[in-house]
Amino acid sequence: MQNNYTKLYLKYCFFISAFIINGNLQAQLLQNKSNFTKHDTLRGSITPERKWWDLSYYDLNIKVQPDNKYIAGYNIVRYKVLKSHDVIQIDLQEPLEITAISQDNEDLNFNKIGPAHFIFLKKKQVPGEYNELYIQYAGKPKEAVNAPWDGGFSWKKDKNGKDFVATSCQGLGASVWWPNKDHMYDEVDSMRIAVDVPKDLIAIANGRLRDTYEYEYGGYKLYEWFVSNPINNYGVNVNIGDYVNFSEVYKGEKGDLDMDYWVLSYNLDIAKEQFKDAPKMMKAFEHWFGPYPFYEDSFKLVEVPYLGMEHQSSITYGNKYINGYLGRDLSRTGWGLKFDFIIIHEAGHEWFANNITNKDIADMWIHESFTAYSENLFLDYHYGKEASADYVIGTRANIQNDKPIIGPYNVNKEGSSDMYYKGANMLHTLRQLVEDDGLWRQILRGLNAEFYHQTVTTKQIEDYISKNTDKDLTAFFNQYLRDVRIPTLEYKIKNGELKFRYIDIVENFDMPIEVEIDGKSEWLFPNSEWTTKSIEGDDFKVDRDYYIYSKKVE
């Protein structure tokens, strides 16, 4: 039975039909920008027109016309009033246009500054009450230049000449293809996604497929998906193609987990072999991070015409059915060819990005450092601790140390791409300082339990780890997240004495390290001042698991 929104959508689709005849390895925008405009502030900050209301529910309805590269539809935004206000901000990027906005069947006026639309409400907004906005929109959305890094809509063809369409929008923002509250701090509680596509194609979105409907006229078919968990805006996606499906049930920590795979029809056999990495991923990550966070919405891998992205419960895949990163080992050790990079990395984001989500994109390291680190934890689980260490240490060759990992706040700007492998090596170093792998695992699982389905700040993550390691990690995080320098251990050995100190460090940085002196393991406790220690022998080596430099001086 169709609900009222479905009936409204069918009516609306009939109406519009009458009128409408090279990149980095990191999945993010990584803008090279240092001067910010009012548009950046409106996009990246919690404006007064955003702050007074809390997202509850989206009902997104979209008709996709591949032949014209055109979309049209509406979004119903349900929200809770936190504080009385008469202007609300909704974002939609050009060249798409909002064609009408109403509340309780009354048309509303609005002004716009770039993507930010300021809607003037007529109804009194009473704290504690729930209200809805009905927003119609249409147009030719921005076409992805180099998805997923410079995203939008990807309008492609498969090798049989059939339409192969996908969305991607991390960094750029979900408002590049649908109207919403486009800021990371406020996640919608649940969401319906209804997609009209030509009837010879299938539309895949987040969550579970709830219904399909084939129109009697017009050659289109409706696919209705439902997300029952909170979801961040850039995690919402639509993928359209000549798909076939296969599936399995994974016996996980919370019971039976449906794992579905949607691939182009001619790739079915190769996908069945390559996607065996998916349950291996789930086994490793449930061990390290705790239960998969979205059992209610299932887990999906969906083939797309670009490399891949971490869309919640709908991980997109385009790694050409080969191991490594498009066949390359990012660690240069051989271990990176033991797994399909996109399956492991993007699925790792289900815990760090989709379960635990940064409030401000400046803190994107929370997503990317932990997920890059998950690659070697996958190896740790299946191949052992030394393989894991080999891999993460090998990825240091990718680190640039060009700018801090944390970016500027309130302007929709992330920090350095070093958030990936510098961040992973920071966490690997921290594991050594904990000196207890059982406790380290408890901390990783504890993060996902403490901040389950939440948006967070860097301070919350730092405080949690410091508290649960019983260590003051303020200087440690300042060094690796907020400074571009890598600590360097200077040392001298003469007449049975070892002298050592740190240089290139932030204030109060005094991280202990393990070293090897003539084959014997010892702890050193350096700071910025020279320290002297009596030793026997002069064969000196810093434990490779610590991300520091060392330099012998005279």
Whether the domain at 1-241 and the domain at 488-552 fall into the same CATH topology: yes
What are 425-456's pLDDT values in tens digits? Answer: 999 999 999 999 999 999 999 999 999 999 99
Query: For residue 393, what are the contacts with CB-CB under 8 A and spacing of at least 6?
Result: 331, 425, 428, 544, 545
Q: What is the pLDDT of residue 32?
A: 64
Interatomic CA distance for residues 471 and 452, integer angstroms:
24
Looking at domain 488-552, which of 1.10.1760, 2.60.40, 1.10.8, 3.40.50 is its CATH number? 2.60.40
The confidence score (pLDDT) of residue 33 equals 66
The 10s digit of each residue's pLDDT in 103-115 is 999 999 999 999 9
Per-residue model confidence as pLDDT tens digits over 80-98: 999 999 999 999 999 999 9
pLDDT, one tens digit per residue, over 185-206 is 999 999 999 999 999 999 999 9
Residue spans per domain, the chain: 1-241, 244-484, 488-552
Report pLDDT digits (tens) over 369-425.
999 999 999 999 999 999 999 999 999 999 999 999 999 999 999 999 999 999 999
Structure tokens that stand for 75 in this block: 């979004």
Res 491 pLDDT > 80: yes
Predicted confidence (pLDDT) per residue in 203-262, tens digit: 999 999 999 999 999 999 999 999 999 999 999 999 999 999 999 999 999 999 999 999
pLDDT > 90? residue 300: yes
Kindly report the number of other CB atoms within 10 A of residue 549's CB atom.
Answer: 14
d(CA 87, CA 55): 15
Contacts of 470 (CB under 8 A, 6+ apart): none
pLDDT at 537 (0 to 100): 84
Could you tell me the pTM of the whole model?
A: 0.94
Of the candidates 186, 156, 194, the residue with the CA atom closest to the CA atom of residue 47:
186
pLDDT at residue 134 above 80?
Answer: yes
Largest CA-CA distance found in the chain, in angstroms, rounded = 92
Confidence of residue 4 (pLDDT cuts 50, 70, 90): very low
**Residue 286 backbone phi and psi in degrees, to 5:** -65, -35
Superfamily of domain covering 244-484: Neutral Protease Domain 2 (1.10.390.10)
The pLDDT value given to residue 443: 98
Q: If DSSP codes are grouped into helix, strand and coil, which group holds residue 30?
A: coil
Closest CA to 334 of 324, 319, 346: 324
Q: How many CB atoms lie within 10 A of CB 519?
A: 8
Q: pLDDT tens for residues 461-470?
A: 999 999 999 9
Burial class, 342, CB count within 10 angstroms (exposed 0-12 / middle 13-18 / buried 19+): buried
Each residue's pLDDT tens digit, 314-350: 999 999 999 999 999 999 999 999 999 999 999 999 9
Strands (E), 228-339: 238-241, 243-252, 255-264, 299-303, 308-309, 315-317
By DSSP bridging, strand 520-524 and strand 190-198 are unpaired
The string of pLDDT tens digits covering residues 8-45 is 444 344 333 333 323 344 444 445 667 899 999 999 99
Label the pairing between strands 70-81 and 53-65: antiparallel
Return the CATH architecture of domain 1-241: Sandwich (2.60)
Q: How far apart are CA 190 and CA 206, in angstroms?
A: 11
Residue 2 has pLDDT above 80, yes or no: no
